[in-house]
A and B are shown apart, each in its own frame.
Chain A
Amino acid sequence: MPLDTSTTYPLTKLRLDGRRWNELRLLQAQISTNPASSGSSYLSMGNTSIMCSVHGPAEGRRGDGGSAGSGHAVVEVDVNVAGFAGVERKRRAGGSDRQSTRIATTLRSTFQSHLHTYLYPHSTISIHISVLSADGSLLAAAINACTLALVDAGIPMPGLLCGCTAGMSGSASTPRDPRHDELDPLLDLSLPEEQELPSLTVATTTVVPVGENNMDEDEETMKVSVLSMESKVHATYLETMLAVGIDGCSQIRELLADVIKGSRR
Chain B
Amino acid sequence: MKSLRRDLSANPQAANVTSKVYVRSLKNGKVQKIVRELYLREDIPCSSKLCGQCPTIAPADANGNIAPFVLSDRPAGTTAFPRGHYLVPDTNALLNGMDLFEHTGAFYDVIVLQTVLEELKNRSLPLYNRLLALVKSDEKRFYLFFNEFRRETHVRRGPDESINDRNDRAVRLVASWYSSHLQQSIRKGKKEKAIPAIVVITDDKENLRKCKEENVTALSLSDYVSGLEGSDMLLDMISESKDARDSKETNRGELFYPEYYSMSKLKTGLGAGTLHQGVFNVSPYNYLEASVKTASFDKPLLILGRDNSNRAIAGDSVVVEVLPQDQWKSPSTKIMDEEAVTRNDNPETEETEAVVSERERKALQEEVKKAHGKTSEGKPQPTAKVVGVIKRGWRQYVGHVDSNSTGAQSSGRRQQNVFLLPMDKRIPKIRVRTRQAANIVGQRILVTIDAWDRDSRYPTGHFIRSLGELETKGAETEALLLEYDVQYKPFPKSVLDCLPSEGHDWKVPVSKEDKGWNGRKDLRDLLICSIDPPGCQDIDDALHARVLPNGNFEVGVHIADVSHFVKPNNPMDLEASIRGTTVYLVDKRIDMLPHLLGTDLCSLKPYVERYAFSVLWEMTPDAEIVSSNFTKSVIRSREAFSYEQAQLRIDDKSQNDELTQSMRTLLKFSKILRQKRMDAGALNLASPEVRIEADSDEVGDPLTDVKTKAMLDTNSLVEEFMLLANITVGTKVYESFSQTALLRRHATPPPQNFEELQNQLSKKRNMELDVSSSRALADSLDRCVDPKNPFFNTLVRILATRCMTSAEYFCAGAFAESEFRHYGLASPIYTHFTSPIRRYADLMVHRQLASAIGYEGEDGHAINEGVATRNKLEDICRNINVRHRNAQHAGRASIEYYVGQALKARGEKMAADGVDAGIEEEGYVMRVFENGVVIFVPRFGIEGVVRLEDFVLPGESGARSVAERRELVPHRTTDFDNEEYTLRVSEKGHPEAERSVTVELFQKVRVNISSVKEEGRGAGKRRVRILVTQA
Residues of A within 8 A of B (CB): 1-3, 7-8, 11-14, 16-23, 25-26, 28, 30, 32-35, 42, 44, 46-47, 51, 87-88, 135, 171, 173-175, 177, 179-185, 190, 192, 232, 234-236, 240, 244
B679 at the interface (CB under 8 A from A): no
Residues of B within 8 A of A (CB): 1-2, 4, 6-7, 11, 13-14, 17, 19, 22, 30, 32-41, 44, 59, 61-63, 65, 67, 114, 117-118, 121-122, 125, 132, 135-136, 144, 146, 148-149, 497-498, 567-571, 859, 861, 863, 865, 868-869
How far, in whole Å, are A22 and B61 apart by their CA atoms in the complex? 9
What residues of B have a CB within 8 angstroms of the CB of A235 in the complex? Answer: 861
In the complex, which of the residues A14, A87, A184 contacts B146, with contact meaning CB atoms closer than 8 Å?
A14
How far, in whole Å, are A33 and B5 apart by their CA atoms in the complex? 11
Q: B370 to nearest A CB, angstroms?
A: 50
What residues of B have a CB within 8 angstroms of the CB of A26 in the complex? Answer: 11, 13-14, 17, 37, 39
18 A-B pairs with CB atoms under 8 Å apart are A1-B121, A1-B125, A2-B118, A3-B114, A18-B39, A18-B149, A22-B62, A26-B17, A88-B30, A88-B32, A173-B869, A174-B568, A175-B861, A177-B498, A180-B570, A181-B63, A184-B62, A190-B37
What residues of B have a CB within 8 angstroms of the CB of A244 in the complex? Answer: 62
What residues of B have a CB within 8 angstroms of the CB of A174 in the complex? Answer: 567-569, 863, 865
Q: Closest A-chain residue to B41, C-beta based?
A: A18
In the complex, which of the residues B2, B498, B568 contacts A179, with contact meaning CB atoms closer than 8 Å?
B498
Asked if A20 contacts B570 (CB within 8 A), the reply is no
Asked if A47 contacts B497 (CB within 8 A), the reply is no
Asked if A14 contacts B149 (CB within 8 A), the reply is yes
What residues of B have a CB within 8 angstroms of the CB of A8 in the complex? Answer: 114, 117, 144, 146
What residues of A have a CB within 8 angstroms of the CB of B36 in the complex? Answer: 16-17, 47, 190, 192
What residues of B have a CB within 8 angstroms of the CB of A2 in the complex? Answer: 22, 118, 121
Q: Beyond A179-B497, A234-B861: 9 further Cβ-contacts under 8 Å? A: A14-B146, A18-B39, A18-B149, A21-B62, A173-B865, A174-B863, A179-B498, A182-B65, A232-B868
Q: Which has the most chain A C-beta neighbours within 10 Å: B35, B61, B67, B865?
A: B61
Asked if B62 contacts A25 (CB within 8 A), the reply is no
In the complex, which of the residues A12, A34, A175 contacts B144, with contact meaning CB atoms closer than 8 Å?
A12
Asked if A87 contacts B32 (CB within 8 A), the reply is yes
Q: A78 to nearest B CB, angstroms?
A: 20
In the complex, which of the residues B1, B2, B39 contacts A23, with contact meaning CB atoms closer than 8 Å?
B39
How far, in whole Å, are A182 and B65 apart by their CA atoms in the complex? 10
In the complex, which of the residues B63, B146, B568 contacts A12, with contact meaning CB atoms closer than 8 Å?
B146
What residues of A have a CB within 8 angstroms of the CB of B135 in the complex? Answer: 11
What residues of B have a CB within 8 angstroms of the CB of A7 in the complex? Answer: 132
How far, in whole Å, are A14 and B59 apart by their CA atoms in the complex? 10
What residues of B have a CB within 8 angstroms of the CB of A47 in the complex? Answer: 19, 35-37
How far, in whole Å, are A41 and B753 apart by their CA atoms in the complex? 72
How far, in whole Å, are A183 and B34 apart by their CA atoms in the complex? 30
What residues of A have a CB within 8 angstroms of the CB of B569 in the complex? Answer: 171, 173-174
In the complex, which of the residues A13, A18, A182 contacts B59, with contact meaning CB atoms closer than 8 Å?
A13
What residues of B have a CB within 8 angstroms of the CB of A135 in the complex? Answer: 37
What residues of A have a CB within 8 angstroms of the CB of B865 in the complex? Answer: 173-174
What residues of A have a CB within 8 angstroms of the CB of B861 in the complex? Answer: 175, 234-236
Asked if A19 contacts B62 (CB within 8 A), the reply is no
Asked if A177 contacts B11 (CB within 8 A), the reply is no
What residues of A have a CB within 8 angstroms of the CB of B2 in the complex? Answer: 30, 32-33, 42
How far, in whole Å, are A3 and B13 apart by their CA atoms in the complex? 25
How far, in whole Å, are A14 and B32 apart by their CA atoms in the complex? 26
Q: Closest A-chain residue to B14, C-beta based?
A: A26
What residues of A have a CB within 8 angstroms of the CB of B568 in the complex? Answer: 174-175
Asked if A34 contacts B567 (CB within 8 A), the reply is no
In the complex, which of the residues B38, B61, B65, B859 contacts A18, with contact meaning CB atoms closer than 8 Å?
B38
What residues of B have a CB within 8 angstroms of the CB of A33 in the complex? Answer: 1-2, 4
How far, in whole Å, are A8 and B129 apart by their CA atoms in the complex? 11
How far, in whole Å, are A177 and B567 apart by their CA atoms in the complex? 8
How far, in whole Å, are A1 and B34 apart by their CA atoms in the complex? 12
Asked if A1 contacts B122 (CB within 8 A), the reply is yes
Q: B167 to nearest A CB, angstroms?
A: 14
Q: A108 to nearest B CB, angstroms?
A: 25
Q: Closest A-chain residue to B18, C-beta based?
A: A18
Asked if B570 contacts A177 (CB within 8 A), the reply is yes
Q: Closest B-chain residue to A3, C-beta based?
A: B118
Q: B503 to nearest A CB, angstroms?
A: 15
What residues of B have a CB within 8 angstroms of the CB of A13 in the complex? Answer: 59, 61, 67
Q: Closest A-chain residue to B500, C-beta based?
A: A179
Q: Closest B-chain residue to A169, C-beta based?
A: B62
How far, in whole Å, are A18 and B20 apart by their CA atoms in the complex? 11
What residues of A have a CB within 8 angstroms of the CB of B35 in the complex? Answer: 47
What residues of B have a CB within 8 angstroms of the CB of A236 in the complex? Answer: 861
What residues of A have a CB within 8 angstroms of the CB of B61 in the complex? Answer: 13, 20-21, 184
How far, in whole Å, are A44 and B14 apart by their CA atoms in the complex? 12
What residues of B have a CB within 8 angstroms of the CB of A240 in the complex? Answer: 62
How far, in whole Å, are A185 and B61 apart by their CA atoms in the complex? 9
What residues of A have a CB within 8 angstroms of the CB of B11 in the complex? Answer: 26, 28
How far, in whole Å, are A11 and B45 apart by their CA atoms in the complex? 13
How far, in whole Å, are A265 and B130 apart by their CA atoms in the complex? 58
Q: A188 to nearest B CB, angstroms?
A: 11
What are the 10 tightest A-B residue pairs by CB atom distance, in nearest-first order? A18-B149, A18-B39, A174-B569, A171-B569, A174-B568, A13-B61, A17-B37, A33-B2, A174-B865, A21-B62
Q: Closest B-chain residue to A182, C-beta based?
A: B63
How far, in whole Å, are A28 and B39 apart by their CA atoms in the complex? 15
